[in-house]
Amino acid sequence: MDKVSKIFGFVDNILILLAKILLAFMVVIVSINVFMRYALNTGIRWTEEISLVSVVWFTFIALAHGVKEKLHINMNLLPSRIAKKYEALLNKFTDIVILFVGYVMLYYGIKLVEVTSHSILPASNLPAAILYFPLIISGILVILNCLLDILGLNKPEGGRN
């Protein structure tokens, strides 16, 4: 099972690299467009649409990574008031809730991609489904990361667990 963990770690690293590239790309094209609009009185028509696609992809990749690293927002009120022996049970319950959220993301992401697959984005002529496809990828990764965590195979890189 350690191999499975390593494979998902590799996939996670590739997606984090993709997120970094998308974020840098978005900053560059938005900066160029702002310069062109204010300095040259013209602009690139597709930059706003492509930057939107980039930020959506970046957000959902970061969301899946956040689940793996346990970076999601939580309240420590209940864990600090219960006995230590129930803390593991509470963590498993949290993982099951997040697993359900991943399933919802996957299920409705597939539906959104199906509905929008015949539409195109007006400025870039890309399929509109490209905006919703990261929901599917993120849903799958959330589900897999939660399953690995429930089985005790997910070790966050930052040492948190």
* Positions of the chain with pLDDT lower than 70, given as ranges: 1, 74-80, 154-161
Distance (Å, rounded) from C-alpha 89 to C-alpha 33? 51
Using CA atoms, how far residue 44 sits from 36, 78, 120, 124, in Å, is: 8, 51, 18, 11
What total number of domains does the chain contain? Answer: 1
Q: What is the pLDDT of residue 159?
A: 46
Tell me the two tokens of residue 145.
């990361």
- Would you say residue 159 lies in a domain? no
Distance (Å, rounded) from C-alpha 48 to C-alpha 120? 15
Contact 44, 36 (CB under 8 A): yes
- Would you say residue 27 lies in a domain? yes
Q: What is the pLDDT of residue 8?
A: 78
Residues of the domain holding 38: 2-150
Distance (Å, rounded) from C-alpha 18 to C-alpha 102? 21
Q: What is the pLDDT of residue 96?
A: 93
Q: What is the pLDDT of residue 90?
A: 82
Q: What is the pLDDT of residue 81?
A: 72
- Would you say residue 49 lies in a domain? yes
State pTM to two decimals: 0.82
Residues forming beta bridges with residue 16, ordered by sequence position? none
- Would you say residue 157 lies in a domain? no
For 31-54, the pLDDT digits (tens) are: 999 999 999 998 888 999 999 999
- Would you say residue 39 lies in a domain? yes
Using CA atoms, how far residue 49 sits from 37, 45, 122, 131, 151, in Å, is: 16, 8, 9, 10, 40
Three-state secondary structure call for residue 119: coil
